[in-house]
Amino acid sequence: MPIVEVEGLSFTYKGSRKKALDNVDLSIEEGEFVILTGPSGCGKTTFCRCLNGLIPHFYPGDFEGQVVVAGLDTREHEIWELSQHVGLVFQNPENQLFCLTVEADVAFGPENLGLPRHEIRKRVNWALKATGMWELRHRAPHELSGGQQQRAAIAAVLAMRPKVLVLDEPTSFLDPAGAAEVLSIVARLNKQHGITVILTEHRLDMAAALADRVIVMDRGRVVLNGPPGEVLTSEEARKVGIGIPKVVRLYELLAGRGLRLPRVPLTPREMALLVAEVAGIADSA
Amino acid sequence: MSSLLESLAFQKRDSVLHRLDPRVKLAYAILMIAIAAVFCVDPTTLRWEWRYSLPYIVLFACQIPLAVLGKVGRLWLRTLKASLPLALLIVGTNLLVVWMYGQLDVYQLERVVGMGFFFLALVASFSIFTLTTSPDDLSLALEQMGVPFWFCFIFRAALRFTPLMAREARITIDAQRARGLELDKGGPIARARRYVPILVPLIVNAVKRAWDMAEAMESRAWGATGKRMSLYVLRLSGRDYLALCIMLFALIMAIYVRMFFQVPYLLPYILPLLEGLL
Amino acid sequence: MPIVLEDVWYSYPNGVEALRGVSLTIGDRDFVVIMGPNGAGKTTLVKTFNGLVKPTRGHVLVDGVDTRRATVAELARRVGLVFQNPDHQLFCETVEEEIAFALRNFGFTEEEVRKRVDWALRAFGLEEYRDTSPLALSGGEKKRVAIASVLVWEPKYLVLDEPTLGQDYAQKEKLRKLINELLERASVVMVSHDIEFIVDFRPRPRVVLLAGGRVLAEGRAEELLTDLELLKKASLVRPQVPEILDCLCDLGLKVRTDVLDLLEARDIILSAVGAGR
């Protein structure tokens, strides 16, 4: 049973005439790492909000179809219920941290649930350690770098113990170092803790290698859905206009001149290894 | 002005006062007013009358060791220095009024000096309170005293976001100046209008921030139950009870002194001495 | 006449030194990119160009005028600075007014204002939004309005602070085209950490690496952005193309690594593999 099941999802914001999402069908298995990408306005952000119930409960509009996460239909459960299964991390790290210390922010969610104090403490400690924020737990948000702030926001969401972590362009406002920090934590949460990850991202050169699948959206529809190597080398991807990593473009250029590598590399190191293999270099192992 | 605000902000130190429960410190602030009342309220008529200055000088002097105990001496002095003009203003205007009514005598002077020292004692105690109490602890204290959570949350969020908004204001001012906006030209009305390009982005961003926060709060189960559980809990320790006892003792002493002793007037004794010296 | 920085030092009122002896020249129709870690002083540096920041030591000359002796408004006529976040400057009721704002500040006649605003709306593809509120536009459109509202007075030097932040691929390519067009008439200085975006410019910009308030290195993109040690000091990640070539060297296939161009890299790999077989 997939952990996220979306069927025929269409949504139009109240007061808008255009469909933000148009007949989206998707299913995501537990433990997958999925990247959602596409040009601005393609509906990625709207889709993220459909996963934790902000749509339809916080944003009114025309909702068609069905979204089922961890067995719960989002139309029939309140946001606070869904938040215990799906965590949503937003683009702007500053506006997600509203307490005076990191630890207080991480505790915010469990406190709202009225859990017993020792349970809150357990979850807070776990979330802080899982995101590498334990040493920084008493710092105020303004004392943190962008990458640290976003990690604190992730910890705050993790304290709800969701099975699915949805991140809406979390590295948008970060510098490359901060982006790398955040992506590596997210990858670790997926690989070591088995948390399903749905990541909206433009920086495919940094993120593509982490994903099991890449989903490309355009104008509210899903246009591509498959493994990164397949999606990034497709004609459709080029037409839609997403940031194809240089590594993939080089793969295509080499193939165009007759040098076909066994698979599509997603990192520079991978490409070098494949080239060395083809060139028959002994120490390419 | 900004240094006044700075010297009122919480200072992270390791001191006895810092370790006291914020509710105890709140009680201490109230104690100040209570002791003042003891010496002001006429026991027979129950009217508030300024009369003496010695009790308030003593009250003020008692703050000094507390400031030292709280390891916030330097900033505390800065706050006092900044509030001195206001104290002098209070003293001065009251003297002026009295003089205009032709009733200026040494007892009125004593009365007004008493007022001034009371004001300083109030500022001194308030300053010690804010310098040694973290806003976090304060809002937690309010929460535990029964103030509704949403109010405490707003209080905390305001403290969290005000410095950020100040920073954004500075960036906006820079960005608009870079487009030729000159803020220091023109008369008062023209100048006020020139601030529109600064205020609009600030307000718009504040609204957007509130929206983003609401989304994040909902996504972290805001409103899940009526029974919210707080991770942190303030518990009164032995130290706190001791402080409360000391404060109670001080209040009892004040009442005792007032009831059974005649509080001496200072100035009628000091002024002739000064005159004698000169 | 260029923008000249001579041994510029700047300390904040709280004592923190943001710039430590920076010397730099931005010439006519120059294309310069300033890169470095967060807190290196990049934004502070570009704010010295239009006088928002006046050096505590050393001086900044814009077209021969010392910035300490001119107001920000006077310097802004020559140096247009577009800040990172358009939400910090958009405030008018319509896009038209927003673009006209600076022109009115600078005292252009109403006729000039009309002409220039029309031109800007056309040049930036914003005509359909003429009467829309800039606050209702999408992120990419807001960025365009912000840039248009600065370019409308045709400054000789255009400074862009992190123009690609939050932009998708198509928006970045539009920006690239815009910058290439601009370079025919003005100098462009960009503060950016988007290294892949920078290396795709033809011709490539001059690169200035700033770290700890000092200029670490200045020179051609091909030299600086392929040097791993230098990039590490500037907290930057090497672009993918030289990274691939360097990994190949590690694996035994000796190739040139000071290459940023994809086609060049392809040819290098093909010849190296051909030679290997």
Q: Is B182 contained in some domain? A: yes
Question: In what helix (H) or strand (E) does residue B241 lie, and over which residues does it extend?
Answer: helix B238-260
The predicted-structure confidence for A236-277, as pLDDT tens digits, reads as follows 999 999 999 999 999 999 999 999 999 999 999 999 999 998
Residue in chain A lying closest to B223 (CA): A112
- Measured distance CA(C44)–CA(C53) in Å, rounded: 7
Higher pLDDT, B207 or C253: B207
Tell if the CB–CB gap between B221 and A109 is shorter than 8 Å: yes
Tell if the CB–CB gap between A40 and C171 is shorter than 8 Å: yes
With an 8 Å Cβ cutoff, is B42 touching chain A?
no
Domain coordinates of chain C in residue numbers? 3-220
Multiple choice CATH, A4-232, 3.50.50.60, 1.10.3470.10, 3.40.50.300, 3.30.420.40: 3.40.50.300
Cβ-based contacts of B149 with chain A (< 8 Å): none
What pLDDT score was predicted for residue B8?
64
| Percentage of the residues of chain B whose pLDDT score is greater than 70 | 97
Q: How confident is the model at residue B3 (pLDDT cuts 50, 70, 90)?
A: low
Tell if the CB–CB gap between A272 and C247 is shorter than 8 Å: yes
Tell if the CB–CB gap between A39 and C37 is shorter than 8 Å: no
Q: Above 70 in pLDDT, residue C97?
A: yes
Its ipTM equals 0.90
The predicted-structure confidence for C27-54, as pLDDT tens digits, reads as follows 988 999 999 988 788 999 999 999 999 9
What pLDDT score was predicted for residue B72?
80
B211, B246: one domain: no
What pLDDT score was predicted for residue A284?
45
Interface test mutation site (partner B, options A111, A122, A166, max chain B beta carbons within 10 A): A111
What pLDDT score was predicted for residue B101?
83
Cβ proximity of C269 and A259 under 8 Å: yes
Q: Is B143 contained in some domain? A: no
Cβ-based contacts of B184 with chain C (< 8 Å): none
What pLDDT score was predicted for residue A23?
95
With an 8 Å Cβ cutoff, is C273 touching chain A?
yes
With an 8 Å Cβ cutoff, is B219 touching chain A?
yes
Higher pLDDT, A237 or C15: A237
Q: Any idea what the Cα angle at residue C223 is, between residues C218 and C228, rounded to 5°?
A: 100
Question: Under DSSP, is residue C19 helix (H, G, I), strand (E, B) or coil?
Answer: strand
Mean pLDDT of chain B: 85
Tell if the CB–CB gap between B201 and C89 is shorter than 8 Å: yes
Tell me which residue of C167, C168, C151 sits closest to C159, measured CA to CA.
Answer: C151
Interface test mutation site (partner C, options A246, A247, A278, max chain C beta carbons within 10 A): A246
The predicted-structure confidence for A37-66, as pLDDT tens digits, reads as follows 999 889 999 999 999 999 999 999 999 999
Domain coordinates of chain A in residue numbers? 4-232, 245-280
Give the domain range for residue B169.
148-219
How close B214 gets to chain A, by Cα (Å)? 9
Q: Above 90 in pLDDT, residue A28?
A: yes
B158, B84: one domain: no
Please tell me whether the overall predicted TM-score, pTM, comes out greater than 0.95 for this model: no
Q: Between A and B, how many residue pairs show a Cβ–Cβ distance under 8 A?
A: 104
Interface test mutation site (partner C, options B173, B177, B179, max chain C beta carbons within 10 A): B179
Q: Any idea what the Cα angle at residue A132 is, between residues A131 and A136, rounded to 5°?
A: 115
With an 8 Å Cβ cutoff, is B104 touching chain C?
no
B-contacting residues in A 106-135 (Cβ below 8 Å): 107-117, 120-121, 124
Residue A33, CA atoms < 13 Å, CB-side half-sphere: 20
Q: Above 80 in pLDDT, residue B166?
A: yes
- Measured distance CA(A265)–CA(A208) in Å, rounded: 10
The predicted-structure confidence for B10-56, as pLDDT tens digits, reads as follows 777 778 788 888 889 888 888 888 888 788 777 777 777 777 888 88
- Measured distance CA(B213)–CA(B207) in Å, rounded: 10
Q: Name the CATH superfamily, with its identifier, for domain C3-220.
A: P-loop containing nucleotide triphosphate hydrolases (3.40.50.300)
| C-alpha B80: how far from chain center | 11
- Measure Cα distances from A168 to A46, A49, A150, A172 in Å: 10, 9, 11, 9
Q: How confident is the model at residue B6 (pLDDT cuts 50, 70, 90)?
A: low
- DSSP tag of B48: B
Mean pLDDT of chain A: 94
With an 8 Å Cβ cutoff, is B185 touching chain A?
no
Cβ proximity of A223 and A217 under 8 Å: yes
B107, B163: one domain: no
Strand A221-226 vs strand C214-220: parallel, antiparallel, or unpaired? unpaired
Tell if the CB–CB gap between A98 and B216 is shorter than 8 Å: yes
Tell me which residue of A127, A157, A156 sits closest to A52, measured CA to CA.
Answer: A157
The predicted-structure confidence for A196-222, as pLDDT tens digits, reads as follows 999 999 999 999 999 999 999 999 999
Tell if the CB–CB gap between B178 and C90 is shorter than 8 Å: no
Tell me which residue of A113, C54, A156 sits closest to B227, measured CA to CA.
Answer: A113
* Chain B touching partners, 3 or more CB pairs below 8 A: A, C
How close A252 gets to chain B, by Cα (Å)? 41
With an 8 Å Cβ cutoff, is B230 touching chain A?
yes
What pLDDT score was predicted for residue B10?
74
Tell if the CB–CB gap between C139 and A40 is shorter than 8 Å: yes
Hey, which residues does C62 pair with through a beta bridge? C3, C65
Question: In what helix (H) or strand (E) does residue C66 lie, and over which residues does it extend?
Answer: strand C65-66
Q: Is B211 contained in some domain? A: yes
B25, B91: one domain: yes
Residue in chain B lying closest to C49 (CA): B178
- Measure Cα distances from C153 to B43, C79, C81, C85, C127 in Å: 76, 10, 12, 20, 18
The predicted-structure confidence for B123-146, as pLDDT tens digits, reads as follows 888 888 888 888 888 888 888 888
Lowest mean pLDDT among B68-77, B90-99, B190-199, C171-180: B68-77
Residue in chain C lying closest to A171 (CA): C166
Q: How confident is the model at residue B4 (pLDDT cuts 50, 70, 90)?
A: low
What pLDDT score was predicted for residue C111?
95
Cβ proximity of A98 and B156 under 8 Å: yes
- Token output for C86: 């358009």
With an 8 Å Cβ cutoff, is C236 touching chain A?
yes
CB atoms within 10 A of CB C259: 19
Q: Is B231 contained in some domain? A: no
* Chain C touching partners, 3 or more CB pairs below 8 A: A, B
What pLDDT score was predicted for residue B264?
77
Mean pLDDT of chain C: 92
What pLDDT score was predicted for residue B34?
86
Helices C95-105, C139-151: axis angle to 10 degrees equals 30
Cβ-based contacts of B179 with chain C (< 8 Å): 76, 89, 101-102, 105, 149-150
Considering only CB atoms, A176 lies closest to which of C173, C193, C250, namely: C193
Tell if the CB–CB gap between A281 and C237 is shorter than 8 Å: no
What pLDDT score was predicted for residue A285?
47
Average pLDDT over residues C226-239: 91
Considering only CB atoms, A80 lies closest to which of B163, B224, B231, namely: B224
B22, B100: one domain: yes
What pLDDT score was predicted for residue B17?
82
Hey, which residues does B59 pair with through a beta bridge? none
Total count of domains within chain B: 2
- Measured distance CA(A156)–CA(A153) in Å, rounded: 5
**Amino acid making up residue C153:** W
DSSP-assigned letters across all residues of C24-54: EEE-TT-EEEEE--TTSSHHHHHHTTTTSS-
**Amino acid making up residue A252:** E
- Measured distance CA(C266)–CA(C255) in Å, rounded: 12
With an 8 Å Cβ cutoff, is C80 touching chain B?
yes
Average pLDDT over residues C156-160: 95
B155, B208: one domain: yes
- Measured distance CA(B35)–CA(B38) in Å, rounded: 5
Average pLDDT over residues A117-123: 96
Q: Above 90 in pLDDT, residue C118?
A: yes
Q: What is the CA radius of gyration of chain B?
A: 24
Tell me which residue of C130, C136, C137, C123 sits closest to C95, measured CA to CA.
Answer: C130
How close B106 gets to chain A, by Cα (Å)? 52
Cβ proximity of B184 and C154 under 8 Å: no
Q: Any idea what the Cα angle at residue B86 is, between residues B82 and B87, rounded to 5°?
A: 100
Higher pLDDT, C19 or B76: C19
Contacts of C132 (CB under 8 A, 6+ apart): C94, C95
- Token output for B124: 């001194």
What pLDDT score was predicted for residue A36?
97
B209, B248: one domain: no
B9, B116: one domain: yes
| C-alpha B97: how far from chain center | 27
Higher pLDDT, B83 or B268: B83
Q: Is B204 contained in some domain? A: yes
B117, B160: one domain: no
B9, B112: one domain: yes
Asked which of B170, B194, B219 is the last residue of a domain, the reply is: B219
Q: Above 80 in pLDDT, residue B103?
A: no
Tell if the CB–CB gap between A205 and C165 is shorter than 8 Å: no
B241, B120: one domain: yes
What pLDDT score was predicted for residue C277?
53
Tell if the CB–CB gap between B136 and A107 is shorter than 8 Å: no
B245 burial class (0-12, 13-18, 19+ CB within 10 angstroms)?
A: exposed
Q: How confident is the model at residue B97 (pLDDT cuts 50, 70, 90)?
A: confident
Considering only CB atoms, A249 lies closest to which of C239, C251, C262, namely: C262
Considering only CB atoms, B171 lies closest to which of C83, C101, C105, namely: C83
Q: Above 90 in pLDDT, residue B188?
A: no
Contacts of A55 (CB under 8 A, 6+ apart): A11, A46, A49, A61, A63, A74
Tell me which residue of A5, A51, A10 sits closest to A219, measured CA to CA.
Answer: A10
Residue in chain A lying closest to C265 (CA): A250
